[in-house]
Amino acid sequence: MQNDWQAAVIALPQPKRDGPMSLEAVLARRRSVREFQEKPLDLVIVGQMLWAAQGITGDDGLRTAPSAGARYPVEAYAVVAQGVFHYRPADHTLHRITSGDRRAALASAALGQPFLAIAPLTLALACVFSRTLARYGETRGMRYVAMDIGHAAQNALLQAVALNLVSVPVGAFDDDGVREALGLPAEHIPLYLLPVGEPAKPSA
């Protein structure tokens, strides 16, 4: 499928529900890698990565990653050369937030980590804390939000391996800087950056 990033709303290809690599093999191969090829990823792969993190898996509306009380505070964004897009799990679509390449600005906000300006895709995972705290209170709710976003990030990290891609979790960044670089709403607090791409060096 060609990369058609021009539309304001992009219908993503339906995600695959099976693949050639076993879970055990994926777990054994997962490593944090910070060197990427600049080769773009097509919409099939981008959609698969987003679905793994927060996609809906059935008619009940439940998602690939568990969430305390099904409050789903996690919001996923795709950062690519063509702009920043918000993922909508309900209809498996991308909605344009900003146009133009924001990867260098993202790398700057992430304390100058250069690989974020090179990776063809970064999943930016943010949380709307109020969704969970309204039900569970601040102390327990904050813990549940941390658990929720960890589940989503690990799903994405394992999906990358299953697609013969590499990734690394990034948590060192200026929150306000990331929000400004990506054009996120004020209530969407960025917690995780997951650059994804083909490895710059072939695996041993």
Q: Each residue of 118-137: pLDDT tens digit? A: 999 999 999 999 999 999 99
The CATH number of whichever domain residue 55 belongs to comes to 3.40.109.10
Q: Does residue 2 sit within a domain?
A: no
pLDDT given for residue 39 in this prediction? 96
pLDDT given for residue 109 in this prediction? 98
pLDDT given for residue 204 in this prediction? 52
Q: Which residues of the chain have pLDDT under 50?
A: 1-2
Q: Does residue 135 sit within a domain?
A: yes
pLDDT given for residue 6 in this prediction? 87
Domain that holds residue 128: 20-197
pLDDT given for residue 3 in this prediction? 58
Going through the chain in order, the beta strands assigned E by DSSP cover 9-11, 74-80, 83-88, 93-99, 121-127, 166-167, 189-197
Q: Does residue 57 sit within a domain?
A: yes
How many domains does the structure of the chain reveal?
1
Q: Does residue 11 sit within a domain?
A: no
Q: Does residue 15 sit within a domain?
A: no
Q: Does residue 55 sit within a domain?
A: yes
Assess contact for 198 and 129: CB atoms under 8 A. Answer: no
